[in-house]
């Protein structure tokens, strides 16, 4: 069997049917399996999985387990995968009908490939919106020192950190020695952490400039995810520490790359502050955001010399946060909202 498609499922009854139907309706003519892991759903998701299995027993496996989180469901699916390559799909997303056929064509021409990467579209309110930023305009092959381009992207951008845009050799997944317990109680950067491990382990990686995955976005869900009571779950310092650990393996253990990691860490912490503060819906919530220990998201080197690792805007923001300057922050965010409104108005006038 060539492919296993792994789908962690948790309380997605509204979207699950579209997801599974897209996996079943593939143009690929070879054998493949779909593994649905019901991660302790409390809605009808588990029953929907079982119904799909009844009607497609030759293609679908269903695993029911106690709730353990996204990563634990994926790991359970990997243990039960029979395909030569594994692909990943979140249960509220869906894929293009030629996903497997396209990936198979790449692998037929390059049988020694460990990973195939592809792009995705955003899907909102029943239609595709914008395509993910394309890093490369044509097929690219990464081996040896060329993989450093991927490592740099992992450190500095989110463009290749989704596990759902990868087909990875199952043997590598099953033999992975990484302890993923650090991802427990995290709802951010799980994919980036896992992808960094497998990009490191793969000897040959091919990127194709094809949008084969559809990622569902929901603005209300995004706003709700920035809850002051759950800031700890978005602390990404564990990811940047992982990058530092990997630098000797990547043969990039130099001061310039280390400083790049520190800069990315600082920028991310300030971004998370802005988002939590922006979506805080009352004065008490904003106070909770401000009183959080934001230094817990930073390396000691950044705290000691913040001006070395940030642009002037983030430096000013960090100073206001550190000194708990509530009034100055209120004015700063007000000015920023006005600026964004003016910017949008100008775009409308220009017809952009």
pLDDT digits (tens, 9 = 90+) for 172-196: 999 999 999 999 888 889 999 999 9
The answer on pLDDT for 252 being more than 70 is yes
Q: Residue 267 above 60 pLDDT?
A: yes
Percent of the chain, pLDDT > 90?
78
Which of the listed residues 217, 242, 263 is the one where a domain comes to its end?
A: 217
Indicate the length of the chain as a whole number. Answer: 352
Reply yes or no on whether the pLDDT at 61 is more than 80: yes
Residue 26: domain span: 3-217
56 and 183 together in one domain:
yes
Phi, psi of 125 (to 5 degrees): 55, 45
| Per-residue pLDDT at 133 | 53
Residue 125, pLDDT > 80, answer no
**Which of 188, 217, 246 delimits the end of a domain?**
217
pLDDT of residue 184: 85
Of 93, 122, 127, nearest to 12 by C-alpha is 93
pLDDT at 124 over 90: no
Q: 25: domain CATH number?
A: 3.90.550.10
Same domain, residue pair 32 and 93: yes
Residue 130 vs residue 63, higher pLDDT: 63
Over 60: is that where the pLDDT of 268 sits?
yes
Regarding whether 86 and 197 lie in a shared domain, the answer is: yes
pLDDT, position 218? 73
The reply to whether 168 and 252 lie within a common domain is no
What is residue 86's predicted lDDT score, i.e. its pLDDT? 98
Q: Using DSSP bridges, classify how beta strands 204-216 and 115-124 pair: parallel, antiparallel or unpaired.
A: parallel
Same domain, 261 and 168: no
The verdict on 240 and 184 lying in the same domain is: no
285 and 174 together in one domain: no
Q: How confident is the model at residue 52 (pLDDT cuts 50, 70, 90)?
A: very high
* pLDDT, position 136: 75
Residue 299 pLDDT: 98
Average pLDDT of the residues in 242-267: 97
Same domain (yes/no): 173, 25 = yes
Return the structure tokens found at 257.
């790359």
Dihedral sign for Cα atoms in the order 189, 193, 195, 200: positive
The partner residues of 127 in beta bridges, in order of sequence, read 124
Q: Which pair of structure tokens corresponds to residue 316? A: 């000013």
Residue that terminates a domain, selected from 168, 194, 217? 217
Specify whether 170 is located in the same domain as 253: no
- The answer to whether residues 210 and 232 belong to one domain is no
Give me the pLDDT at residue 206, please: 97
35 and 183 share one domain: yes
Of the pLDDT bands very low, low, confident and very high (cuts 50, 70, 90), residue 295 is very high
Residue 132 scores a pLDDT above 80: no
Q: What is the pLDDT of residue 29?
A: 95
Quote the tokens at residue 256.
Answer: 């310039």
Phi-psi region of 306 (alpha: psi -120 to 50; beta: other; left: phi over 0): alpha
The structural domain count of the chain equals: 2
List, for residues 304-344, the tens digit of each pLDDT value. Answer: 999 999 999 999 999 999 999 989 998 988 888 887 787 77
Check whether 221 has a pLDDT greater than 90.
Answer: no
Per-residue model confidence (pLDDT) at position 189: 93
- Confidence band (pLDDT; 50, 70, 90) for 131? low
**CA geometry: angle 123, 128, 130, nearest 5 deg:** 90
pLDDT given at position 9: 97
* pLDDT (mean) for 95-118: 97
**Burial per residue of 79-106, b for 16 or more beta-carbon CB atoms within 10 angstroms, e otherwise:** eebebebbbbbbbbbbbbbebbebbbeb
On whether both 93 and 116 belong to a single domain, the answer is yes
């Amino acid at each position: 069997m060539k492919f296993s498609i792994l789908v962690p499922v948790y309380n997605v009854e509204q979207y699950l049917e579209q997801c599974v139907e897209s996996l079943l309706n593939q143009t690929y003519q070879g054998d493949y399996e779909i593994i649905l892991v019901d991660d302790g759903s409390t809605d009808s998701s588990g029953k929907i999985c079982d119904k799909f299995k009844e009607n497609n027993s030759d293609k679908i496996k269903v695993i029911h387990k106690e709730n353990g989180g996204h990563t634990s469901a994926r790991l359970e699916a990997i243990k039960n995968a029979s395909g030569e390559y594994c692909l990943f799909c979140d249960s509220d997303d869906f894929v293009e009908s030629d996903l497997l056929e396209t990936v198979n064509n790449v692998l037929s021409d390059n049988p020694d490939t460990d990973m195939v990467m592809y792009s995705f579209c955003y899907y909102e309110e029943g239609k595709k919106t914008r395509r993910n930023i394309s890093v490369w305009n044509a097929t690219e092959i990464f081996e040896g020192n060329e993989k450093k381009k991927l490592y740099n992207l992992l450190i500095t951008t989110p463009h290749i950190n989704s596990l759902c845009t990868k087909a990875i050799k199952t043997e590598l997944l099953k033999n992975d020695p990484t302890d993923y317990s650090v991802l427990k109680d995290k709802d951010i950067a799980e994919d980036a952490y896992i992808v960094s491990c497998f990009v490191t382990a793969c000897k040959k990686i091919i990127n194709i400039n094809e949008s084969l995955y559809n990622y569902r976005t929901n603005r209300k869900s995004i706003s709700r995810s920035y809850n002051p009571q759950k800031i700890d779950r978005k602390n990404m310092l564990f990811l940047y520490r992982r990058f530092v650990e990997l630098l000797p393996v990547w043969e990039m253990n130099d001061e310039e790359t280390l400083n790049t990691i520190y800069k990315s860490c600082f920028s991310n912490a300030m971004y998370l502050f802005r988002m939590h503060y922006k979506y805080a819906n009352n004065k008490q919530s904003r106070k909770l955001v401000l009183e959080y220990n934001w230094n817990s998201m930073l390396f000691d080197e950044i705290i000691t010399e913040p001006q070395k690792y940030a642009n002037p805007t983030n430096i000013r923001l960090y100073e206001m946060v550190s000194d708990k300057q509530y009034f100055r922050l209120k004015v700063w965010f007000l000015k920023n909202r006005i600026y964004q409104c003016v910017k949008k108005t100008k775009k409308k006038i220009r017809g952009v």
